[in-house]
Structure 1
Amino acid sequence: MEKLLVLVLRSCDLLDDITHINKLKTLKVLEISGDSHLVSIPDKLFNGMTNLQSLNLSRLDISGASSLKSMPINLFDGITNLQSLNLSGLQMETLPSFSKLSELRVLILRGCSRLEKLQSLRGLGKLQTLDPSESIMFKIFTDESIEHLDQLRILDLSKTSISKLKLVLPSVGRHTQVIQSNEELCSRPSNLKAV
């Protein structure tokens, strides 16, 4: 298994420990999604997995794990080649830092119902898609780092609690499509188009 490239652990109801995944240094794609009984996610789990390009932790049900309130803040620091990250459906208020994911192009946070804000997005200069849609508590980006996402093409704010788009996105590139269905949003800056 040392040369394994793709590992999919979908709806593994009895999965309670993933500490040994970090020995799979050649992985390019990792999916751990659906129900599980994980009680912890080790610090630096992905360190040394420099080939990892796609990580899907969507619908990972860790809400019942009383000892797990959040993921380690530096969880993604060791996977600098990651291009796609899907954390949809995670029931956490705080997510790990994305700041060292310089190759990241797609960040999906759909349906993270407890997520209220995103940590800094500085360092994600290649990000093209940012999707926190259906994260009903999401209301703010913690800094102006979204202004520096020059490659951003799709920003989906549907069914979030963002109330002032005008303040959030004063200088997003003119090629960005902003998807929004929140009728209370302020008027959109003239350089943005809604889809």
Structure 2
Amino acid sequence: MASDSKKFKILLTSRHKEVLSSEMEVKDSIFKVNVMEEEESEMLFNKVAGITDEDSELKSISTKIVLKCANLPLAIEAAGKALKNNKNKVAWENALQQLEKQEMIEVLEPVEFSTMLSYDRLQSEELKSIFLLCARLGKDPSIMYLVKYCIGLRIFQEVNTMKEVRGRTNESIKKLKDSSLLLDTNSPDCVAMHDMIRDAALSIAYKHNGVFTRRYAELDEWPDRETFEKYTVISLHYCDIIDGIPEGINCPQLKVFHLDSKDPFMKIPDKLFEGMKELRVLILIGIDLSGFPSSIKCLIKLRMLCLEKCVLGDNISIIGELKKLRILSLLGSKFELLPSELRQLGMLQLLDISSCTKLKVIPSNVMSKLNRLEELYMGKTLIPWGVERKTNHNEIASLAELESLQQLRNLDIHIEDITTLPSSLDFDKLDSYKIVIGDSKMLLLEDFQMPYQYKASRVLALHLKKDIDIHSQR
């Protein structure tokens, strides 16, 4: 290093010493950061909660709460913000009494204690649902994924459009940050949660909300029948499922079934969904569904269906029977024909067929029937478009069908042949778009990077043949 170069020190932190010494290869200068002294803890809690020397009645209660937080700054800050600017002594006593009763039933760790306090004092069931949802979705989930879940589970009862749900979701995220339950991030498209808060949230979800979730674990035995009947969520992410998926399980309260698979040979039993008739959200990722389970037609209340990075084959017409679908994502899946039966999905608000490289045909009069569609994502999916609209169902779709989508606000599409683009197509009403017109090789150019799939943007990219004057083109 040159003598005039600046020298930097990097501080790495971990709850586990072996992470620093082994995985990070830190050989020297490992030191332990102790918890705060009692006096420091009380000062921090009182500052966060807005307690002054004049609030003598609350100070005795605050001492007990700080004691439960075991002098951990993260727990103290969360607990303090849960009671911030509330000078009602009865409310403080009730909060402490409620948590002490809970501790008589089960042992609460300090962070779980403070998280439970913050959770119980959230203003609405909506906020509680979104907080637990953020924990279930893992590290730094995208806000768009939250939005889709909110629509699938209808978390905001009186809100209908995608735009309104986005707004309400962002408001909720801000309130959870103000409560120290979520963290600020470098990306405006994601949310972040401290891993200790996430562990506490998952514990709350398991104990009080019937949530069964596993990540990167070995699942060698499924819960018993009675336990299954209590679940509202089953969420398995990249687990080794030793004995496979059970043939039939009765989950009368189940609202969400989410399965990410790292096993390309995993099969979904044909009758799996017969006992899940209350299901609202079904997510299957990385699974061979060439033998599509017929029991999916039992899910008459399903609002969100994501079959992503799956092998679908050509027998997915049964999806057209799910009349209440609002969200349909086939992102990255392998299939050749978008079934004409999808024209029956008149309630659909979002359709994502991005990166479907095997897709060859969209039949005519499918897109035009989705008259409530607000968001259409087709990036990196190249299909031939018809020059004009056809009435024969055997003909391919034309771009003119998009004129029928009066609610469309977000569009991501690649059009290889500019002659298929009708002059009457109006893009002025779109809030966000990513439109590529021209040679598909453009997508491979290193200096051309499209924004993140769901990121709001207004991008029009033209890739014309050599020596063509852009001003001479319509």
Q: Same fold (TM over 0.5)?
A: yes
> Are 2:327 and 1:88 equivalent residues in the alignment?
no
> Are 2:260 and 1:16 equivalent residues in the alignment?
no
SS of equivalent residue, structure 2 residue 319: coil
Q: Which moved more, 1:83-92 or 1:143-152?
A: 143-152
Taking a change above 3 Å as real, the CA distance of residues 165 and 155 of structure 1, as seen in their structure-2 partners, is: farther
Equivalent position to 1:122, from 368, 384, 387: 368
Rg larger for: 2
**What aligned pairs does 1:59-74 form with structure 2 within 5 A after superposition?**
59-62=309-312, 69-73=313-317
Instruction: Give the equivalent residue in structure 1 for 2:320.
Output: 77
Q: Higher relative CO (CA 8 A, sep ≥ 6), structure 1 or 2?
A: 1
Q: Which moved more, 1:15-24 or 1:79-88?
A: 15-24
SS of equivalent residue, structure 2 residue 337: coil
The two structures have a TM-score, normalised by structure 1, of 0.77
Taking a change above 3 Å as real, the CA distance of residues 161 and 113 of structure 1, as seen in their structure-2 partners, is: farther
Q: RMSD value over aligned CA atoms?
A: 2.6
Contact 1:17 1:39 (8 Å CA) reproduced: no
Taking a change above 3 Å as real, the CA distance of residues 80 and 153 of structure 1, as seen in their structure-2 partners, is: same
Contact 2:418 2:438 (8 Å CA) reproduced: no
Partners in 2 of 1:8 and 1:179 — Cα distance?
29
Partners in 2 of 1:12 and 1:4 — Cα distance?
24
Contact 2:309 2:333 (8 Å CA) reproduced: yes
User: Which structure shows the bigger proportion of residues in strand conformation?
Assistant: 1
> Are 2:40 and 1:40 equivalent residues in the alignment?
no
SS of equivalent residue, structure 1 residue 8: strand
Partners in 2 of 1:179 and 1:130 — Cα distance?
11
Taking a change above 3 Å as real, the CA distance of residues 132 and 18 of structure 1, as seen in their structure-2 partners, is: farther
> Are 2:442 and 1:161 equivalent residues in the alignment?
no
Q: Which moved more, 1:75-84 or 1:172-181?
A: 172-181
Contact 1:18 1:41 (8 Å CA) reproduced: no
Pairs aligned (count): 176
User: Which structure shows the bigger proportion of residues in helix conformation?
Assistant: 2
> Which amino acid in the other structure matches residue 99 of structure 1?
R
> Are 2:347 and 1:103 equivalent residues in the alignment?
yes
Question: Sequence identity of aligned pairs in percent?
Answer: 22
> Which amino acid in the other structure matches residue 324 of structure 2?
N
Instruction: Give the equivalent residue in structure 2 for 1:190.
Output: none
SS of equivalent residue, structure 2 residue 328: strand
Contact 1:104 1:124 (8 Å CA) reproduced: yes
In structure 1, the gaps of 5 or more residues are 63-68, 186-192
> Are 2:397 and 1:142 equivalent residues in the alignment?
yes
The two structures have a TM-score, normalised by structure 2, of 0.34
